[in-house]
């Protein structure tokens, strides 16, 4: 239960940072939004890895975690030109 709560809280923090980045033109607010997004993404990613290790069968575990990192890398690559 606590892990799901942590994932939900990290998702809201990340969304707050993304909204700040989206609605502003000021570079200081964009940097602040990036920092808030980072504060939300990294703890959530750690908890998600632990959660995936617990619920996924051993054969698909490495594939699921590898897919998560690939999608995260693609998302970072797509966000970078916007900042």
Give the C-alpha separation, 50 to 25, whole Å. 37
Q: What's the confidence (pLDDT) of residue 6?
A: 82
pLDDT at 59: 79
pLDDT digits (tens, 9 = 90+) for 13-40: 999 999 998 999 898 998 899 889 888 8
Residue 62 has a pLDDT of 81
Model confidence over 27-74: pLDDT tens digits?
Answer: 899 889 988 988 888 887 777 788 778 888 877 888 888 888 888 788
The domains of the chain are located at 2-82
Buried/exposed 51-75: b ≥16 CB within 10 Å, e otherwise: eeeeeeeeeeeeeeeeeeeeeeeee
Give the pLDDT confidence score for residue 83 in this predicted structure.
59
Q: What is the pTM of this model?
A: 0.63
Longest Cα–Cα distance of the chain, Å, equals: 47
């Amino acid at each position: 239960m606590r892990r799901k709560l942590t994932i939900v809280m990290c998702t809201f923090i990340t969304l707050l940072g993304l909204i700040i980045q989206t609605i502003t033109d000021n570079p200081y607010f964009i940097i602040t939004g990036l920092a808030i997004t980072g504060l939300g993404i990294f703890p959530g990613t750690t908890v998600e890895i632990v959660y995936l290790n617990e619920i996924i069968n051993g054969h698909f575990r490495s594939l699921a975690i590898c897919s998560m990192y690939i999608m995260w890398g693609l998302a970072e690559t797509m966000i970078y030109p916007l900042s």
